[in-house]
């Protein structure tokens, strides 16, 4: 590929990689760690987008508007967790069906309350020289990697993180060691919802905000979490990388649509070849080479 073509592909990859990571990271926490298949993940992103849009329209500067988006979604997630999600822990398939019901209700309520459109926000920071794509996409990629790093630090190094992971893996033992597991569930779910809100907020300027805004994120997120496999954060990065490459390569050649189809087919093959996801496969390799044990 000529220099510009390669640059275009690179830019395309960065754009899609950031999109998948940001779309997935919230779900990775809720589905990956908490075992709740949240089919309303797209609508959490919707809450983030609408909150940001209306905060911005009310005059708040964009970063502050985005912050409100994140906070509002986290609070919204908390309320939903206490009302409904609390009864679904350990009931994997029921969580899928219930969150699907929530998604239907949220889309239609948004349509009834806010109508079909929300005021648009322009894409900030001009555009890149050669590639002529918006600088904003690079900003998104940096934010995506930053969020992953932040999450890794939060869950691996902080006291909260360790207690949260203990609760998720074995609630009974964690409780027997004095961990307030209820609070852990609430705060972890709030973190997951906040991240979904962040994705909504960050992409508010780029995509037209409609009640169906969230569905655009849902499939990429699910596929990435499943392909990523057990270990939530590392899995998300690897899956986003793999799916992003496939999508970017085919999009460059045959347009965004075929890129989407190619990515979904790659996901199907990946789920088939690695039933436990990429990180599951890595764990097996380590084990077979005798390092693990």
The one among 38, 73, 210, 236 contacting other proteins by CB under 8 A:
210
> Interface with other proteins includes 165 (CB under 8 A)?
no
> Interface with other proteins includes 140 (CB under 8 A)?
no
Check residue 86 and report its DSSP letter.
G
Binding mask 29-48 for other proteins (x = CB under 8 A): --------x-x---------
Any idea what the Cα angle at residue 34 is, between residues 32 and 37, rounded to 5°?
Answer: 70
The counts of H helices and E strands in the chain are 11, 0
Contacts for 101 with CB less than 8 Å, ≥ 6 apart: none
> Interface with other proteins includes 251 (CB under 8 A)?
yes
> Interface with other proteins includes 102 (CB under 8 A)?
yes
* DSSP line for 25-74: HHHIIIIIIT----TTHHHHHHHHHHHHHHHHHTT--HHHHHHHHHHHHH
Dist CA 205 CA 212 (whole Å):
16
The one among 94, 170, 180, 182 contacting other proteins by CB under 8 A:
94
Closest contact distance (angstroms) between CB of 119 and other proteins is 8
The one among 34, 223, 242, 282 contacting other proteins by CB under 8 A:
223
> Interface with other proteins includes 159 (CB under 8 A)?
no
- Distances in Å between the alpha carbon of 198 and those of 50, 194, 242? 11, 6, 23
Closest contact distance (angstroms) between CB of 179 and other proteins is 26
> Interface with other proteins includes 57 (CB under 8 A)?
no
Question: In the complex with other proteins, which residue's Cβ is closer, 178 or 290?
Answer: 290
């Amino acid at each position: 590929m000529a220099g510009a073509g390669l640059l275009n592909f690179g830019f395309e990859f960065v754009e899609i990689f950031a999109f998948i990571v940001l779309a997935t990271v919230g779900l990775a926490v809720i589905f990956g760690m908490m075992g709740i298949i949240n089919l309303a993940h797209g609508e959490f992103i919707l809450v983030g987008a609408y909150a940001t849009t209306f905060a911005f329209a009310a005059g708040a500067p964009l970063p502050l508007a985005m912050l409100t988006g994140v906070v509002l979604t986290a609070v919204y997630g908390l309320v939903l967790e206490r009302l409904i999600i609390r009864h679904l822990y350990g009931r994997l398939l029921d969580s899928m069906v219930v969150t699907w019901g929530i998604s239907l209700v949220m889309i239609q309520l948004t349509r009834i309350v806010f109508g079909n459109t929300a005021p648009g926000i322009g894409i900030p920071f001009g555009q890149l020289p050669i590639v002529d794509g918006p600088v904003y996409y690079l900003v998104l990629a940096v934010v995506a990697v930053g969020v992953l790093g932040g999450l890794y630090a939060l869950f691996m190094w902080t006291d909260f993180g360790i207690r949260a992971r203990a609760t998720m893996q074995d609630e009974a033992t964690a409780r027997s060691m004095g961990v307030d597991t209820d609070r852990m569930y609430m705060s972890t779910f709030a973190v997951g919802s906040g991240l979904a809100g962040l994705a909504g907020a960050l992409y508010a300027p780029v995509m037209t905000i409609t009640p169906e805004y969230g569905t655009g994120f849902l499939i990429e997120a699910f596929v990435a979490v499943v392909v990523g496999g057990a270990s939530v954060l590392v899995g998300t990065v690897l899956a986003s990388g793999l799916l992003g490459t496939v999508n970017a390569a085919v999009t460059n050649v045959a347009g965004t649509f075929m890129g989407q189809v190619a990515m979904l087919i790659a996901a199907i093959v990946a789920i088939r070849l690695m039933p436990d996801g990429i990180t599951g496969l890595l764990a097996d390799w380590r084990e077979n080479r005798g390092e693990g044990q």
